[in-house]
Copies of this chain bind each other. A is one copy, B any other.
């Protein structure tokens, strides 16, 4: 079992994630453990840990929500890679390539169940945390279905693009801070966390698209530059970059407004990304 240090840390989250996927029990457990051991930035766990510390939550509660969010994210990666037939994840064979489709389905299921399992030790708040988490999982799945339905197609308007861009990734960026706010009883701030996460997700997708304009055009994949070009923008690439910067700035402002600095890490990340894009803009 994880021993709860005075200061919650990523290494405690790593240990707890491993415990929860039963790495010694069957092929899916081994596959999940291997997938987790291949690394990842653990952004969602870091957001939860930062928020938990800022809000003065117990180490046990903080580790629980950080572990839950990170496991959910990894569940979605394993199933997304299978759905999209992406062969590589973190420089290694994706689970479906290494273990086959059926075991990849089981592995994602195990990670999803483990995410809820992570919330078991949160006492009286467990029910509220579960309810929030299921609502966000529902939103992610809806976003993923919309994304799948769009593949090979196009969306016309910017609003539709932004809805798709935030649909499948915003919920899991919002959740770490949201669960920390629930544990702290700060339900009043969840709206701002939602706004910050959604803006960040949109900015992130736009920045990603800017790196992939040519490839996406070739594969007929949705790309903000193509959306703006179709809308009549004379310089769609520059317009897209400016729009991404604006979204990151909105995310930063909303995250910075959260109580007791609990959105500080998301604000920092937003600022860093806006700055990187602005520097890019000047040198283009």
- Taking a contact as CB atoms under 8 Å apart, the answer to whether B116 and A130 are in contact is yes
- Taking a contact as CB atoms under 8 Å apart, the answer to whether B116 and A146 are in contact is no
- Taking a contact as CB atoms under 8 Å apart, the answer to whether A141 and B79 are in contact is no
Known A106-B148, A117-B133; 20 more pairs at CB < 8 Å: A22-B138, A25-B142, A26-B141, A29-B142, A79-B106, A82-B105, A105-B105, A105-B108, A106-B144, A109-B137, A110-B137, A110-B138, A113-B133, A116-B116, A117-B134, A120-B130, A120-B134, A122-B127, A126-B126, A126-B130
- Taking a contact as CB atoms under 8 Å apart, the answer to whether A117 and B141 are in contact is no
Instruction: Identify the closest chain B residue to A20 (Cβ).
Output: B134
The answer to whether the Cβ of A217 comes within 8 Å of any Cβ in the partner chain is no
A26 to B124, CA, bound (A): 32
- Which residue among A25, A110, A114, A116 has the maximum number of chain B CB atoms within 10 Å of its CB? A116
Interface size, A (range) = 35 or more
The answer to whether the Cβ of A27 comes within 8 Å of any Cβ in the partner chain is yes
- Taking a contact as CB atoms under 8 Å apart, the answer to whether B130 and A117 are in contact is yes
The answer to whether the Cβ of A131 comes within 8 Å of any Cβ in the partner chain is yes
Mask, A90-131, CB within 8 Å of B = 1, is 000000000001110110111011101101111110111011
A:62-103 near B, CB below 8 Å? 75, 79, 82-83, 101-103
Candidates B106, B123, B126, B138; contact of A145 at CB < 8 Å? B106
Chain A at the B interface: SS class: helix
The answer to whether the Cβ of A149 comes within 8 Å of any Cβ in the partner chain is yes
- Which residue among A83, A113, A131 has the maximum number of chain B CB atoms within 10 Å of its CB? A113
- Residues on B with C-beta less than 8 A from A146 are 26
A: residues with CB less than 8 A from B are 20-22, 25-29, 75, 79, 82-83, 101-103, 105-106, 108-110, 112-114, 116-117, 119-124, 126-128, 130-131, 133-135, 137-139, 141-142, 144-146, 148-149
- Taking a contact as CB atoms under 8 Å apart, the answer to whether B83 and A105 are in contact is yes
Instruction: Identify the closest chain B residue to A138 (Cβ).
Output: B22
Give, as a whole number of angstroms, the nearest-CB distance from A135 to chain B. Answer: 8
- Residues on B with C-beta less than 8 A from A26 are 141-142, 145-146
- Taking a contact as CB atoms under 8 Å apart, the answer to whether A28 and B79 are in contact is no
Candidates B27, B109, B124, B127; contact of A120 at CB < 8 Å? B127
